[in-house]
Structure 1
Amino acid sequence: MKTLIWQGILFKSLEYFNLQSDDRSYTVTSKIIGSYEDKIYAVNYSILIDKNWIIQSFLIESEINNRKRTLTGKRIQDQWEINNAVHPEFNNFIFIDISLTPFTNTLPINNLKLSENSSKKIDVIYIDVLNHHIRPVQQQYTRTAVNKYLYENIENDFKAEISVDEKGFVTNYPGLFEKIAEH
């Protein structure tokens, strides 16, 4: 079990994160509250992940300026069923990236098991919670040191050097997130 709190710097948020583990899978439950520009939000998400750090299903419940939304996703072999509809544009994708949390960076970091100075491009389901938008994106991770990764969003040239702990959880994502407590 792992419990921690991330502070969202840009998104003016706090995230209370919990990871449970059993013999077959990891289960994440998390709560985020914050405000960004003209939006006040609360987000609860849960994710089921296999022992290879591959997403099996997710549930994201959000309330933004009093408007509630739910987004569900389920991997069925190599396809994704999102809100009960199959989305072929996400075929063979094994990762998601939720905009308001650094946790989803842990998924490829732990799955890819990169050696230092090696990199890999991946396809990701990007979930922009605040704008209620979901789309495919390509990202690249390069391991620059034992506990540092260069994250690159190929589409828009965004780059950041992310620091992680020994378990692959983000401790510092410059300008975006910082771990402030752990149990």
Structure 2
Amino acid sequence: MAPISALWRRLDEPHGLVHGAISELEPTPDHPDGAFLLDGAAIGTDAGEDTGPIGEQEAPRPWSTRFSVVVDSRWQTRSCFVEVLGADGLDRVTLTADALGHWTLDGRDWADLEGCVDVDVSISPLTNTLVVARLGLDVGEERSVDVAWLDVPSLAVARVTQTYRREPDDDAGQRYVYADPTYGSFLFTVDPRGIVREYQGLFARVA
């Protein structure tokens, strides 16, 4: 697999840009069948906090992040590292998972994620690629999966049930509807390699 690189503009945040890349890793003792590395970075701003009387808020505060996700040859997540640099300094979190769905958070067993197969880094559409590749849905097919959802910039980690349904293809590529109980449903399209082209209301690929 040749390396893939993409750049997206945030549609919900005027200052947001997201970069992502996928490369294939050589076999190792931990991954004898090989693995894939998803690397990414992003910049954005968070909402300012209330500072006093009604209507007064801090200016939005800039932040930057970088992340890396290793998945095995079946696109099952084995590790995820995310680092955020914001107004309060540098913070980071590391998740690991084994083939049976046992997870650790910063080296501690994390039972809340037991059985999850995928990770979703909220700031990047790149992690949708690993679910699309792993599920291999046919048109009209729908699957629900429990994922380790990692919010950026807060670095909060939660278990979230997500549903993917493949819609009929169009000229833009393969189409999917994503849904979860908190944020609702969104239509997104991917190119022949599974890279998101447009994600309704959130991301548009620019390179």
- Range of TM-score over shorter length: over 0.9
Pick the aligned partner of 2:123 from 100, 114, 117.
100
Unaligned runs of 5+ in 1: none
Q: Could you tell me which amino acid in structure 1 is paired with residue 65 of structure 2?
A: V
Counterpart check, 1:55 vs 2:77: yes
1:171 is matched with which residue?
Answer: 197
1:9 is matched with which residue?
Answer: 11
Structure 1 outlier segments of 4+, above 4 Å: none
Which runs of structure 2 are paired with 1:12-23 in the superposition (5 Å)? 12-23=15-26
Cα offset, 1:141, TM superposition: 0.2
CA distance in 2 between partners of 1:75 and 1:140 (Å): 21
Is the CA contact (8 Å cut-off) linking 2:67 and 2:81 kept in structure 1? yes
CA distance in 1 between partners of 2:193 and 2:66 (Å): 23
CA distance in 1 between partners of 2:65 and 2:116 (Å): 24
DSSP 3-state at the match of 2:115? coil
Provide Cα deviations, 1:70-119, integer angstroms capped at 9, x if missing partner.
11011134210111111111111111111111111111111011110110
TM-score under structure 2 normalisation?
0.82
The number of aligned residues is 180
What's the % identity of the aligned pairs?
A: 22
Cα offset, 1:50, TM superposition: 1.1
CA distance in 2 between partners of 1:68 and 1:165 (Å): 34
Counterpart check, 1:36 vs 2:38: no
Which runs of structure 2 are paired with 1:91-130 in the superposition (5 Å)? 91-130=114-153
Counterpart check, 1:84 vs 2:107: yes
Q: Could you tell me which amino acid in structure 1 is paired with residue 40 of structure 2?
A: S
Structure 1 or 2: more strand by fraction? 1
TM-score under structure 1 normalisation?
0.92
Is the CA contact (8 Å cut-off) linking 2:38 and 2:126 kept in structure 1? no
Cα offset, 1:157, TM superposition: 5.5
Cα offset, 1:66, TM superposition: 4.2
Unaligned runs of 5+ in 2: 27-33, 48-59
- What is the CA RMSD across the aligned residues, in angstroms? 1.4
CA distance in 1 between partners of 2:183 and 2:44 (Å): 26
Larger Rg: 2
Is the CA contact (8 Å cut-off) linking 2:92 and 2:155 kept in structure 1? no
CA distance in 2 between partners of 1:10 and 1:3 (Å): 22
